[in-house]
Amino acid sequence: MYFCLNYYYRMTHSEENYLKAIFHLNKGGAKAVSTNALAGQMKTKPSSVTDMIRRLAEKGVVHYKKYQGVSLTEKGSRLALSVIRKHRLWEVFLVEKLSFSWDEVHEVAEQLEHIKSEQLIDRLDKLLGFPKFDPHGDPIPAKDGSLPSGDKQLLSNMPLHSRGICVGVKDSSSAFLKFLDKNRIALGYRIELMEKEEFDSSVRVLVEGEPIHLSHQIASNLYVKKI
Amino acid sequence: MYFCLNYYYRMTHSEENYLKAIFHLNKGGAKAVSTNALAGQMKTKPSSVTDMIRRLAEKGVVHYKKYQGVSLTEKGSRLALSVIRKHRLWEVFLVEKLSFSWDEVHEVAEQLEHIKSEQLIDRLDKLLGFPKFDPHGDPIPAKDGSLPSGDKQLLSNMPLHSRGICVGVKDSSSAFLKFLDKNRIALGYRIELMEKEEFDSSVRVLVEGEPIHLSHQIASNLYVKKI
DNA sequence: ATATAAATTTAGACAAATCTAAAAATATGT
DNA sequence: ACATATTTTTAGATTTGTCTAAATTTATAT
Ligand SMILES: [Mn+2]
Ligand SMILES: [Mn+2]
Ligand SMILES: [Mn+2]
Ligand SMILES: [Mn+2]
Q: What's the pLDDT at B176?
A: 97
- Residues listed for chain A: 227
Which among A100, A107, A117 is the nearest to B108, CB-wise?
Answer: A117
Q: B180, B163, B162: which is closest to B171 by C-alpha?
A: B180
Q: How confident is the model at residue A2 (pLDDT cuts 50, 70, 90)?
A: very low
Q: Which residue of B has its CA nearest to A106?
A: B117
| CB-count burial class (<10 Å; 0-12, 13-18, 19+) for A8 | exposed
Q: What's the pLDDT at A7?
A: 47
Q: Give Dmax over CA atoms of chain A in angstroms.
A: 61
Nucleotides of C under 7 A from a protein CB: 7-12, 16-22, 25-26
What's the CA angle centered on A6, arms B40 and B100, to 5 degrees?
A: 70
Phi, psi (rounded to 5 degrees) for B72: -80, 140
Any residues with CB less than 8 A from the CB of B179 and at least 6 apart, and which? Answer: B218
Q: What is the pTM of this model?
A: 0.93
Q: Which CATH number is associated with domain A152-226? A: 2.30.30.90
Q: How confident is the model at residue A55 (pLDDT cuts 50, 70, 90)?
A: very high
Residue type, B66: K
Q: Is A163 helix (H, G, I), strand (E, B) or coil?
A: strand
C-alpha distances out from residue B48 to B8, B35, B56, Å: 25, 9, 12
Asked if residues A213 and A202 have their Cβ atoms less than 8 Å apart, the reply is: yes
Which among B100, B112, B124 is the nearest to A98, CB-wise?
Answer: B124
Q: Which nucleotide is nearest to A14 (CA to C1')?
A: C17
CA distance B122 to chain A (A): 9
How far, in Å, CA of A192 to CA of A160, rounded?
A: 9
Q: Which of A12, A111, A113, A114 to mutate to test the interface with B (most CBs of B within 10 A)?
A: A111
From start to end of B26-179, where are the E strands? 62-64, 70-72, 153-154, 163-169
Footprint of strand C on the protein (CB under 7 A): A 12-15, 44-45, 47-48, 51-52, 55, 66-67; B 34-37, 46-47, 49-51, 53-54, 66-69
Q: What's the pLDDT at B8?
A: 57
Using the 8-state DSSP alphabet, how is residue B156 labeled? G
How far, in Å, CA of B139 to CA of B88, rounded?
A: 8
Q: Which CATH number is associated with domain A1-147? A: 1.10.10.10
pLDDT digit string, tens, across residues B195-225: 999 999 999 999 999 999 999 999 999 999 9
Instruction: Report B:161-180 residues touching A (Cβ under 8 A).
Output: none
- What percentage of chain A has pLDDT greater than the value 90? 91
Q: What's the pLDDT at B41?
A: 96
How far, in Å, CA of B140 to CA of B129, rounded?
A: 12
Asked if residues A82 and A141 have their Cβ atoms less than 8 Å apart, the reply is: yes
Residue B98 near chain A (CB below 8 Å): yes
Q: Is A220 helix (H, G, I), strand (E, B) or coil?
A: coil
| Spacing of B115 CA from D20 C1' in Å | 33
Residue A1 near chain B (CB below 8 Å): no
Any residues with CB less than 8 A from the CB of A163 and at least 6 apart, and which? Answer: A190, A191, A192, A193, A226, A227
Using the 8-state DSSP alphabet, how is residue A59 labeled? T
How far, in Å, CA of A195 to CA of A160, rounded?
A: 7
- Residues listed for chain B: 227
From chain B, pick out residues whose CB is under 8 angstroms from the CB of A98: 120, 123-124, 127
Strands B163-169 and A62-64: unpaired
Q: Give Dmax over CA atoms of chain B in angstroms.
A: 61
Q: Is the dihedral of CA B88, B92, B97, B102 positive or negative?
A: positive
How far, in Å, CA of B101 to CA of B104, rounded?
A: 6
Strand D at less than 7 A from CB of B45: yes
Instruction: Report A:123-152 residues touching B (Cβ under 8 A).
Output: 123-124, 127
Any residues with CB less than 8 A from the CB of B44 and at least 6 apart, and which? Answer: none
Using the 8-state DSSP alphabet, how is residue A33 labeled? B
Strand D at less than 7 A from CB of A41: no
How far away, in angstroms, is B87 Cα from ligand 3 center? Answer: 8
Any residues with CB less than 8 A from the CB of A144 and at least 6 apart, and which? Answer: none
pLDDT in 10s for each residue of chain B, 227 residues:
344 444 457 899 999 999 999 999 998 777 899 999 999 999 999 999 999 999 999 999 999 999 999 999 999 999 999 999 999 999 999 999 999 999 999 999 999 999 999 999 999 999 999 999 999 999 999 999 999 887 899 999 999 999 999 999 999 999 999 999 999 999 999 999 999 999 999 999 999 999 999 999 999 999 999 99
How far, in Å, CA of A155 to CA of A191, rounded?
A: 9
Any residues with CB less than 8 A from the CB of B149 and at least 6 apart, and which? Answer: B139
How far, in Å, CA of B179 to CA of A118, rounded?
A: 25
How far, in Å, CA of B44 to CA of B40, rounded?
A: 7
Q: What's the pLDDT at A3?
A: 42
Containing B126, the helix (H) or strand (E) segment is: helix B118-127
Q: What's the pLDDT at A30?
A: 79
| Spacing of B166 CA from C4 C1' in Å | 49
CA atoms within 13 A on the CB side of A96: 17
How far, in Å, CA of A120 to CA of A137, rounded?
A: 23
Lowest mean per-residue pLDDT among A7-21, A120-134, A138-152 = A7-21
- Mean pLDDT, residues A76-90: 97
C-alpha distances out from residue A138 to A89, A91, B171, Å: 11, 11, 44
Q: Is the dihedral of CA A213, A218, A219, A222 positive or negative?
A: negative
- Determine, for residues A100 and B107 on separate chains, whether the beta-carbon distance falls below 8 Å: no
Strands B222-226 and B163-169: antiparallel
Strand D at less than 7 A from CB of A221: no
Q: Where are the domains of chain A?
A: 1-147, 152-226
Q: What's the pLDDT at B29?
A: 77
Q: What's the pLDDT at A8?
A: 57
State the ligand closest to the CA atom of A113. Answer: 1
| Spacing of A152 CA from C1 C1' in Å | 89
pLDDT digit string, tens, across residues A159-201: 999 999 999 999 999 999 999 999 999 999 999 999 999 999 9
| CB-count burial class (<10 Å; 0-12, 13-18, 19+) for A9 | middle
